[in-house]
């Protein structure tokens, strides 16, 4: 499934930029080989491949059955937000694309109180940042993007299981060698909160951004389709 060429908000701003991006997607479609992804899942995976030029994400990317539908519902509801583990995700997301859907971003990794609590309790800043987001009621109904810190994803799973946090969608793609693969496997055990993950050690904030941008593109395409 390709994004319609009449998407405007979620496309590159110049004709030259749009041409390069669409040509890149065409190369990926041509070279990727067989895959098992649905028509709505594939644009997400393809944009992730595009972000890193890494075809391994064809296969490593895994979806909860309701992931894309849940993400689109949250985006199109215009009452959602993105809560990220690190500032890089918030900076990487397109402000005009988020603004079109009324979506704000939040991250607390460098807040003074987060740093102080992490030192006091012997945890990571990422753990305390997730706790702060939950305490402020920001996780419920949010798209939570985790691309850097496995401990953030582990803590998010705990908050869901033990404290009733209910994100609309978790884009869980922390990268690394310590607990990264395990944190994503832990997320995939949940049935009641939809998720998109990358199995194994690979991941990163750029991939979270790519996945969310793909969802924003699908949401705009759905709007345009309904408008006729």
Which residues are marked as active site? 50
3-class DSSP assignment, residue 196 = strand
Contact indicator for 204, 147 with CB cutoff of 8 Å: yes
Buried b (16+ CB within 10 A) or exposed e, 91-126: ebbeeebbebbebebbbbbeeeebeebbeeeeebbb
DSSP lists the bridge partners of residue 146 as 172
Instruction: Report the 10 Å Cβ neighbour count for 150.
Output: 26
Cα(94)–Cα(10) distance, integer angstroms: 9
155: nearest Cα among 85, 107, 212, 204: 85
198: nearest Cα among 223, 221, 176: 176
3-class DSSP assignment, residue 86 = coil
Residue with tokens 């009621």: 137
Residue 185 tokens, joined: 């496997």
């Amino acid at each position: 499934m390709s994004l319609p060429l009449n998407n405007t908000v979620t496309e590159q701003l110049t004709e030259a930029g749009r041409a390069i991006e669409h040509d890149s997607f065409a190369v990926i479609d041509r070279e990727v080989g067989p895959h098992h992804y649905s028509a709505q899942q594939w644009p997400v995976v393809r944009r992730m491949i595009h972000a890193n030029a890494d075809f391994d994400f064809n296969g490593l990317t895994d979806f909860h059955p309701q992931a894309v539908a849940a993400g689109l519902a949250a985006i199109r509801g215009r009452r959602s937000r993105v809560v990220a583990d690190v500032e890089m995700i918030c900076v990487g997301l397109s402000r005009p694309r988020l603004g079109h859907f009324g979506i704000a971003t939040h991250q607390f990794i460098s807040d003074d109180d987060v740093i102080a609590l992490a030192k006091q309790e012997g945890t990571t800043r990422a753990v305390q940042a997730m706790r702060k987001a939950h305490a402020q009621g920001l996780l419920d109904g949010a798209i939570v993007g985790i691309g850097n810190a496995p401990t953030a994803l582990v803590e998010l799973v705990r908050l869901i299981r033990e404290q009733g946090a209910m994100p609309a969608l978790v884009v869980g793609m922390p990268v690394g060698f310590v607990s990264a693969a395990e944190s994503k496997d832990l997320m995939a055990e949940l049935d009641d909160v939809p998720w998109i993950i990358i199995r194994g050690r690979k991941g990163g904030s750029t991939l979270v951004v790519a996945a969310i941008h793909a969802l924003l593109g699908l949401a705009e395409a759905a709007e345009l389709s309904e408008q006729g």
